[in-house]
């Protein structure tokens, strides 16, 4: 081995070992879901059969994680953070991640529709965040 080859190899080899990249941190929601008060509906909305069928179809079509059936019934809960404006209308929604973006966005849209004209104004404070929960329930 010539001196030139040896010098080239020494320059190519790092003197300090390259650090192994750390695993990325686990993503956590900045929303404290348990601390959000429930959205005060006048009449608590219930998803219709066609709404449930849409959710089941989307779960299958998009290969989304599915909840385990219990005694032949499956339930999926979609939580949505809801910002109410000073005019007592929904101004923003943030669905809680469940691993199925289509169903998350569908749930957020349903909450906006369900809230329209269906909130108890005495129990809603403009500029505040609330939690709406939708439960989709079907038999397997």
In a domain, 94, yes or no: yes
Would the CA dihedral through 96, 129, 45, 94 be positive or negative?
negative
Residue 108 forms part of a structural domain: yes
Whether residue 9 is contained in a domain is answered as no
Q: What is the pLDDT of residue 25?
A: 65
Q: Residue 82, class by beta-carbon neighbours within 10 Å (0-12 exposed, 13-18 middle, 19+ buried)?
A: buried
Distance CA 126, CA 27 (A): 30
DSSP 110: H
Say what the pLDDT of residue 99 is.
Answer: 96
- Count of structural domains, the chain: 1
Task: For residue 79, tell me if it sits in a domain.
Answer: yes
Do residues 88 and 120 lie in contact, with contact meaning Cβ atoms separated by under 8 Å?
no
In a domain, 65, yes or no: yes
The conformation of residue 44, written as its DSSP 8-state character, comes to -
Q: What's the chain's average pLDDT?
A: 89
Please determine, for residue 35, whether its predicted confidence score (pLDDT) is greater than 60: yes
Structural domain boundaries enclosing 76: 38-139
pTM, 2 dp: 0.77
Residues 6+ positions from 35 with CB-CB distance below 8 Å: none
135, part of any domain: yes
Per-residue pLDDT tens over the stretch 55-82: 999 999 999 999 999 999 999 999 999 9
Q: Are 93 and 80 within 8 A, CB to CB? A: yes
Does 2 reside within a domain?
no
13 assigned to some structural domain: no
């Amino acid at each position: 081995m010539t001196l030139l080859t040896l010098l080239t190899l020494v320059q190519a080899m790092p003197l300090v070992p390259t650090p192994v990249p750390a695993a990325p941190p686990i993503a956590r929601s900045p929303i404290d879901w348990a601390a959000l008060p429930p959205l005060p509906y006048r009449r608590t909305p219930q998803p219709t059969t066609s709404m449930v069928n849409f959710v089941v179809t989307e779960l299958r079509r998009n290969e989304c994680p599915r909840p385990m059936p219990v005694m032949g019934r499956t339930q999926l809960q979609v939580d949505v953070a809801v910002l109410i404006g000073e005019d007592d209308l929904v101004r923003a929604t943030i669905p809680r991640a469940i691993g199925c973006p289509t169903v998350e966005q569908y749930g957020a849209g349903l909450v906006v529709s369900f809230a329209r004209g269906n909130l108890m104004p005495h129990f809603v404070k403009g500029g505040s965040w609330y939690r709406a929960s939708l439960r989709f329930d079907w038999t397997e």
